Chains A and B, each alone.
Chain A
Amino acid sequence: MSQITSEIKDEVTILFAGDSGDGIQLTGGQFTDTAALVGNDISTFPNFPAEIRAPQGTVAGVSGFQLHFGSIELFTPGDQADVLVVMNAAALKSNLASLKKGGIVIANIDGFDKKNLRLAKYEEGLTPLTDGTLDGYKVHEVDVTKITRETLKESGLGTKIVDRSKNMFVLGFLYWMYNRSLDNTIKFIETKFAKKPELINSNISVLKAGYHYGDTAEAIASRFEVKPANIKPGTYRNIMGNEATAIGLISASQKTGLELFCGTYPITPASDILHFLSKYKNFGVKTFQAEDEIAGICSAIGASFGGKLGITTSSGPGIALKGEAIGLAGMFELPLVVINVQRGGPSTGLPTKTEQADLFQAMYGRNGESPVPVIAAQSPKDCFDAAYEACRIAIEHMTPVFLLTDGYIANGSEPWEVMKSEDLKNISVNFAEPREPQDPAFLPYKRDDKLVRPWAIPGTKGLAHRIGGLEKDFETGNVSYDPENHEKMVKVRQAKVDEIANYIPKQKIDTGAESGDVLLLSWGSTYGAVKTATTKLIDEGFSVSHAHVRYLNPLPKNLGELIKKFDQVVMPEMNNGQFIKIIREKFLVDAKGLNKIKGLPFATGEIVDKVKEVLA
């Protein structure tokens, strides 16, 4: 046996790709958990096809899972992969561009037979494994199917079931490559198949076969080691964005004692929030899968009227349907959280791909003057804080609040230092007090110094009142067609939202100096890529800083001041330029846009290049 060397790496990106039935997401998820347990920093990005089970072997059916892990702090799932694992020809075809030059390809050769090559639309008689396509890459061909079948030939299991454990072979092999223990995955298999013991043995055998293959096959001359990251001491868990959103909502419900009601309708990529919430009924969570998007939000407003925490979740097309009801919630001045897990648009657009093109929809997508506070999450774990904060603003300021996340962070995951309930900010709930007949008349629209009206819930003595979508009198809330009153109400609803700026943190510079040549100004899920790019640029000696805006409406009070300390402002957005228009209009600054509208997140390099171009 030749000598196998061990190479130490700071960071590695592995891209798993195969048919959507190949167990790619599970394989990636297991490697992620194991990497996290070893203490690596991680960041992941699953990439699903829009079709549930597109025809096997075709490019349309390829499912991907990108995992970035390292001994250094990471903020993105990686620009390009170091290792590409492909279960078939179609997976290679659709993902080769994402592999670094000189990277490693691990190919399941069974997926490169005549049929698979034809389905992947490779030219007749040519296979990318030998036709030069992979020149310059390190290719490891493994007959995964054959070895898996060989391993399980005594098991008595049918071929179909045997073939389903192919992904365990690949996982075992990668564990060998990166010097990882199998323990976590063995534990996982034992739990997952607790009711089917025959599958426990078979999956573990195949996992081990993959590991031993590395030792014996002399396929690879070098193993890699990624040391634990220098992460702040503490207890961590891995968390996906949509899960973090759900837990943030439940936390707000628990902290306030307000029952959580989620009225919603299934839509990609937001449905997982409903799935998570519906599991936690013992937290008093009530989920309502309505007959449509409109009923989803209207039921949530009904729950808020009843004195509970009303939430609705959706994505762009669903939000379009909810517009009228969001306007009504603004008129009612009741708390409501509207979550938009953005996807590629317009119309049905790219359901499984990411984009941040619904900012204008959130800001302006309603009839009449209808201001709504808007906040955005910046990473998977940050969905927790953003969801919690959205609830805080909704409840304390009696207003519908938009929370924008997107498919990239909703499905992506990263380690999260576990929060303690005690550490969560308090949210104050102020229900209007009961009133006796001799007390002064109740004025449902009389405002406090924050311009917030009382939350008078049905069942409260002496507070019976009517609310509606018709314009209301400034204090009594009765229907009013008075011209002066209407203008006054429009202004006060705007002032109420503007007032929130006094109750949010000031804008900070995330990375870099307080002034300089270029400010990278970003929002939402571009955070990781922009931060990484900024760090690189600073290391290269450029005068660049990064500010990331969570509060999009109202904007932090000091944002204009902060921007003006830089000669140039560059704004990367996964849209055709939306936040930039707001910034230009608000602060009269000649900001430059960097726009990517490909349904894919930014690569760090794209941002680095843009800044260099601006500075050239």
Chain B
Amino acid sequence: MGFIIDATLIAFLALIAISALRRKRLFGMVMLSGAFSLVAATLFLVLDAVDVAFTEAAVGAGISTVLALATLSLVPAEEKPHSIAIVPAFLALTTGLLLSIAVSDLPEFGAADAPIHNHVAPEFIIGSEEKIGVPNVVTSVLASYRGYDTLGETVVVFTAAIAVLLIIGGWTRRETETAESTEDDHAG
């Protein structure tokens, strides 16, 4: 049963991705990328990664789609026609092939003796209860054990926002007001 659900979801993902690639109109592409994120969130949920699924649904399917839609009103409605770039296509296909080959070397999904479950993970799972007292291990790792990383992530978000605001101007209000008053002057 689990296999059927996984396979269906992955088939959906592939279908949505191919469909988005073949589309000409950008609006359809944006909506499909939102749908892709939603299906990916479901897949994470099936894999028991609830926090990741939550983030994917809120950020990927929600806010990213809205921001992409807001961008759409600034750009033409259709993609520019272009031919297939051979070198990037070759690079992408080769990397994909190599990765698929490498997957066979991975330990079985959920195997208890996999290296990832025997390094620091047991300490986090036991210590989270004893030393931090937080039932959600993801939160205790994110905010306490790996506090530096989360601080770094927050600073990345901060920097990205400052950069975007500097480029496309979060301070258009004054300019808009000047433009409005010029228009009023003309009208008057």
Q: Do A and B come from one complex?
A: no
Q: Which residues of B contact A (CB under 8 A)?
A: none
Q: Which residues of A contact B (CB under 8 A)?
A: none
